[in-house]
Each structure stands twice: as C-alpha cells, then as structure tokens.
Structure 1
Amino acid sequence: MKREGYKKTDFSLSDVLSYSLYPGFWKMSTKMWRTGFWEMNRSLRKNLFLKSLQNLVPELEIDDLSGKGSGVRAQAVDSEGNLVDDFRIIERNNSIHVLNAPSPGATSSLVIGEHITTLAEKHFDLK
C-alpha cells in the first residue's frame, strides 16, 4: 500500500496514515470493498486474471501471460467516498489546481489549457 508502489511488497506507513485520516477513503471502502477484494484477489491469482482476460480474448491461455510490473493510476475520491470520474479544477487565492487528470487527458490538453487560461485571466485579473 503505497501511492507510487509498483510491487506487491511496496508499503509506506505515511501513505497508509494519510488514507486512514481521510473520511472519503472510509466511505469509498464501505461502498467498494467487494470490488477492491476482487481486484486484489485477481492480481494475486494468475488463473483468475486469465479468466477475466478471456472475457475479452477467449483464445488466451496461461502460457500467454508473463509476469511484468504493474501500472499505477491515481484516482481522486471526494469527501463522500465517490470516485471522481473527470477533471476537477479548483481555484485558490494564488493558484489554480487541475486534479484527477487521467492519462487520456493529453488528448484534450489544448481545450483544458484554454479553459484554465480563461479561469486564470478572470481569477488573477489578467486582462
């Protein structure tokens, strides 16, 4: 359990404490524990992983899979425990923050940039 953990053994006490202190984490865990349990189980058992892949590619076999590293994708969770599905842009006194920008965000980066520019012009009185 680590924010940027790529191995099953990666662990960070400060990250776990940070999650534990955020009320949205507990609300999300209550809602999503079955999914979390299934995903952990599937990541530890190659045969379960294969079975889920065969829903997409039925001809796959266990020998087609090789052990490689995992990817990590950050996912924002709001204070009510809901997964934030899209960009969240927050304006503060001296800054504008773009939160939860998933990797497909690059395909819309110019539009997002224009939107942030408009926000910055208004927020910081740039025009």
Structure 2
Amino acid sequence: MAVTRIKFKGTSSIGVFIMATDSYAIVPPDTPGKIIRAIRENLEVDVVKSLIGESRLVGVLSAGNPKGLLVPYYTLDEELDALKKYLGVKVSRVPGKMTAIGNLVLANEKACLISPELGDDAATVIEETLD
C-alpha cells in the first residue's frame, strides 16, 4: 500500500474536508488540482466536487460506502441531486439534530456502526441507504 502525505489548504486535517470510500471521494469545490490528482491516483477512485449544506466540511458532514452516501438533513436539494447524478449511488439525508454524520457513522460494505445519539428514524435511513 502506497502512503502519500497531503495537506488541504495548509492543514493536515484532511478528513475534515475530504470523504472517501472504495469507489468515490468527495472534495470541496475549491480543492486544488494537485490534491484531486493525488486522490485519484493513490486511491484509484472517482472524485466529485461538492459542498454539503453549503459547507466545505465534507468529511465531517458525510459518511458512506460504495453503495450509498449519508448527508445531514439541511443538505440543499441541488447538492443532493448533483451527488446522486455524479456518484450513481443512493444519497440520503439523515433526519435528526445530529449533523456531523462523518463523526457519527462508520461503514463499509459489510456493516455499519452508528452513534447511540442517532435516533431510530436515522438508523432506518442509514440501513436503507448503505445496504
């Protein structure tokens, strides 16, 4: 496995701004080409530029797997539609007051672990989206 060091806009906290699965990555629209190339070449995934809820904090606000993507309830319709179009996976808003989805959900294609702070409605949406 190759290991490459990158910074995003001068910070080493790359997981705050970038979200990746085994088949895609999401980055803010202002991501430099050098970073996009590093993601494409090293992770071998498609890279989509998007805001989530008008925020650049894509890694904090989203979680997913190759089958689906979870975003907070306040994600704009335009953002949701674009993500569905470009990713080709299920994209769902997670209901409830907890919105840092990337901090509350751990998922791969086999299973998903969620924070107990997420309610039953959120758990149902998560299961239906990532399965």
The TM-score, its normalising length taken from structure 1, stands at 0.27
- Specify which structure has the higher proportion of strand: 2
The TM-score, its normalising length taken from structure 2, stands at 0.27
- Specify which structure has the higher proportion of helix: 1
